[in-house]
Structure 1
């Protein structure tokens, strides 16, 4: 799984599936959406992970459905229901040990939902958060990771990104960042990339003006 050592100036983390296991919550939310509109939930779930909710709603909602209102409803349901979500092992401890000026969270969730989920599982809130509200082009476009690196004062090519989903992996690589797969995704977007099961064996240590990231 690990045995790799990477060098970085900054570390950038996706949230859902990377820092927080929210799979059950997300699947329930899309299941309710599918049920309201007579859609096949499995088809939605096959492409929804890692993408902004509004984009997925726009793709699947029947003609005439208010996409913004439907997105707001899904968002409100997920903010209200944090049962069943948990920390990816080792994530909170790793982030607490990092310089807050050297890491960020980059997510396709909204800012409100991100803050709620991180707080619910005891993960420290980042100084820099790039959420769905902050971008004009979401993952798989490279903009989210480029914005996060820039906000920390670096180029994305100086970052190591931790991601679990094809949209995010594509976004990170397109931004020029070294990219690590978290979890079990084995599709094309993960080809040739280092991989970790979780953060329990990841260690970060100073290395000149940057960091050495050992994947265990």
Structure 2
């Protein structure tokens, strides 16, 4: 077992790219949105992953007023709601969730998606989150720590005893700011670096054969 995981009281997951492989759907939506709004798709994709849509849009189109930003963000999300054909669980996701249940560790999902999109994507991946915190549940999205702190409160576990699992730097920043331990996918830097969620499932298992 990796040193330091013994004190973990809950696991807080990002959704897109962490529990759910939806990268292709996310990219298609941002490319279509960028074409509609006259934005370079590469510029949008470079900063969109893991961030709330309105935050990304404010960066891309700083001249827009609040009402127009809200409409543009709503349009971006609308492009994603029904695009579920290739959305699946990430490698090791179901194995890890089974291991969490066996160990009696509570978990939650904290996502920059809204509730409709989060439930659609989790459903497509065959995952039911016991606690779901979406962009609609917080005043400020990632990298602000509010979402992860809220999830910890809902689980009744101090955030300092939570492990945040993320595949985007903006989410890792949120986890660190909340005071949680972090596990990073896709070559990013966290307290733990993971190739996939299967690796975390094995590290959480205290049995000698899992080491």
Aligned to 2:197: 199
Distance 1:184 1:97 in 2: 23
Which consecutive unaligned segments of at least 5 residues does structure 2 have?
A: none
Aligned to 1:74: 76
Matches within 5 A, 1:36-185: 36-61=36-61, 63=64, 66-99=68-101, 102-123=106-127, 125-185=128-188
Distance 1:105 1:74 in 2: 21
1:101 deviates by 7.0
Aligned length: 202
CA RMSD of aligned residues (A): 2.3
Which consecutive unaligned segments of at least 5 residues does structure 1 have?
A: 207-211
Distance 1:137 1:38 in 2: 26
Q: TM-score, normalised by structure 1?
A: 0.84
Matches within 5 A, 1:12-31: 12-31=12-31
Q: Is the 8 A contact 1:181 1:194 kept in 2?
A: yes
Structure 1 stretch displaced more, 50-59 or 133-142: 50-59
Cα deviation, 1:14-33, whole Å, max 9, x if unaligned, reads: 01111111111111111111
Distance 2:32 2:46 in 1: 16
Give the structure with the higher percent helix.
2
Cα deviation, 1:161-184, whole Å, max 9, x if unaligned, reads: 111101100010111111000223
Q: Is the 8 A contact 1:139 1:167 kept in 2?
A: yes
Aligned residue for 2:100, secondary structure, equals: coil
Distance 2:44 2:117 in 1: 20
Q: Is the 8 A contact 2:11 2:105 kept in 1?
A: no
Distance 1:110 1:165 in 2: 18
Q: Is the 8 A contact 1:11 1:160 kept in 2?
A: yes
Q: TM-score, normalised by structure 2?
A: 0.86
